[in-house]
Amino acid sequence: MLDAIPVIAIDGPSASGKGTVAQFVAERLGFHYLDSGALYRIVAWATHKKNIDWSNATAVAECAKTLVIRFSNNQVFLNNQDVTADIRTEKMGKGASEVAVHAPLRAALHDLQHSFHKFPGLVADGRDMGTVVFPNAQLKIFLTASAEVRAKRRYDQLVGKNESANYEKILLDLQERDARDKSRTSAPLIMADDAILLEADNLTIPQEIDLILKKYQGKMCK
């Protein structure tokens, strides 16, 4: 029954633009949207507040089970507190990548991610949407770009928000995060066998959105 509700899974490395693209695609189709990275960021933030070490798999997973997470109008709430800006920092991006290596945490977040799979459909972005969480997704996209292009995007974003930014440091952090996300044993960042590779170095965001929508329409008209 659930298999009849379509899922578009968009996976890829940090700062590949998949969040922006996924949100637009969801909006255009009137689908629900799951930002799975936000869940790992919330866990990093909540555990940090409780002085739980990000390397402690059991304590991190137990803490995650107690969290009441809600998304509303582009905002993220944890136990009714707006944590949207708190979880978007570089520190929480790194923390999310560190807690995400733990299999018990990934299992603890499984049902919550599936609760977004509702009529009329879902666009989900992350690292393992097409490989582990929604393996039966109707369309799987692997969106990537060179580390240099992604670092430049992140740099421009920070400068645009009047935040201090150092391109070299951003590039190094991204490469470190990519390496950790790809090399972990539990649900590593890899392209699903049946995913479509989209290399975004020379594509604009509107072009990426158009391409994904065309691929989706192509699949649904078959």
Q: What is the nearest approach in angstroms of ligand DC to the Cβ of residue 177?
A: 5
Helix (H, G, I), strand (E, B) or coil at 121: coil
Beta-bridged to residue 78, according to DSSP, are 69, 81
- Between 29 and 106, CB nearer to ligand DC: 106
Rounded Cα–Cα distance for residues 219 and 211 (Å): 12
Give me the residues that bind ligand DC (CB under 6 A), please: 14, 36-37, 40-41, 93, 96-97, 100, 126-128, 177, 181
* Cβ atoms within 10 Å of 183's Cβ, excluding its own: 10
13 phi, psi to nearest 5 deg: -75, 175
Q: What is the nearest approach in angstroms of ligand DC to the Cβ of residue 126?
A: 3
Q: What is the nearest approach in angstroms of ligand DC to the Cβ of residue 217?
A: 25
Residue type (1 letter), 68: V
- Between 32 and 41, CB nearer to ligand DC: 41
Residue 192 token pair: 């699903």
- Between 6 and 126, CB nearer to ligand DC: 126
40 CB-near residues (< 8 Å, 6+ apart): 96, 97, 99, 100, 105, 109
Q: What is the nearest approach in angstroms of ligand DC to the Cβ of residue 185?
A: 12
